[in-house]
A = this chain, B = another copy of it.
Amino acid sequence: MKIGIAGLGLIGGSLGLDFRSLGHEVLGVSRRPETCEQAIGLGVVDRASTDWSLLATAEVIFLCTPLAAIKPTVLQLLPHLAPETVLTDVGSVKASVVEEIAPLWHNFVGGHPMAGRAESGLEAAQPNLFVGAAYVLTPIADTPAAAVNCVEDLVRPLQTRIYHCQPAAHDRAVAMISHLPVMTSASLIAACMAEPDDAVLKLAQTLASSGFRDTSRVGGGNPELGVMMARYNQQELLRSLQAYRAQLDQFMALIEQADWAALEQRLQQTHAARPEFL
């Protein structure tokens, strides 16, 4: 199949590598000519261009730009598309993307491959990035079944676990397990940074070990990505932050009241619940 990739970063590049190795023809578009050259050099695409018309003959186009660029990209692509071309995106938020793009293009399927790396950009692209990863598709009532099947048939051979859900349910779930942890983890680092006693701060930095390392990891991650999550999933993130603060307040009250029996019960519940998320 002839596959287009708009946006040659970590996800677009990794998709290109996998699709080519499965025998598809991959056409890539990037704003930057150097990225196009690099993509050809890395074997990520068969052909690349800064010109959207390159994708005119693609049967399916994966929109792999940052969230903010998805709609502008689609508006640029529209004049070049045949009516049967399938568009799908890889954005980590779905309701706002589907609301924006579905009215512009009937054959659009919202998608979210839940794979990533700490590194970003085309240099970080790698084969088999999606093996074992969840790949969420968020078709709505009038999304053509053929378009959904087409995307599924392409991403299933990457050994992804395909799930279907409503865009709003996706955003609520990822707010809880992906976007909320970034903010709770960043708050942990910020709380430590705010320690007024410099000797204690230095001691804390010296003594921090695996517990702090793990709990602070996503809060010390890519700042731009954190902002994008908050910006495009603002309401669901706020909702989960409020739920979180209510729980935090309960833990604080139990500790303040020295209600150790109740605290132990709560910690037994979280201990028992965690494996269900793994």
**Which B residues lie within 8 Å of A273 (CB)?**
189-190, 192-193, 220
- B177–A223 contact, CB under 8 A? no
**Which B residues lie within 8 Å of A245 (CB)?**
245, 248-249, 252
Q: A187-B247, A241-B255, A266-B190 are in contact. Are A195 and B176 (CB under 8 A)?
A: yes
Q: How far is the CB of A84 from chain B (nearest CB, A)?
A: 31
Q: How far is the CB of A60 from chain B (nearest CB, A)?
A: 24
Across the two chains, which residue of chain B brings its CB closest to A161? Answer: B206
- A185–B277 contact, CB under 8 A? no
Complex formed: what's the CA distance from A212 to B175 in Å? 11
Q: How many copies of the polypeptide does the oligomer hold?
A: 2
Is A234 engaged at the interface, CB distance under 8 Å to the other chain?
yes
**Which B residues lie within 8 Å of A216 (CB)?**
181, 274, 277
List residues of A (161-218) whose CB comes within 8 Å of B's CBs: 163, 165, 169-170, 172-174, 176-178, 180-195, 197, 199-200, 203-209, 211-218
- B181–A251 contact, CB under 8 A? no
Is A258 engaged at the interface, CB distance under 8 Å to the other chain?
yes
**Which B residues lie within 8 Å of A183 (CB)?**
248, 251-252, 255
Across the two chains, which residue of chain B brings its CB closest to A251? Answer: B183
Contact with A214, one of B214, B258, B266 (Cβ below 8 angstroms): B214
Residues of chain A touching chain B, judged by Cβ–Cβ distance below 8 Å, are: 114, 133-134, 136, 163, 165, 169-170, 172-174, 176-178, 180-195, 197, 199-200, 203-209, 211-224, 226-227, 230-231, 234, 237-238, 240-252, 255-256, 258, 260, 263-264, 266-271, 273-278
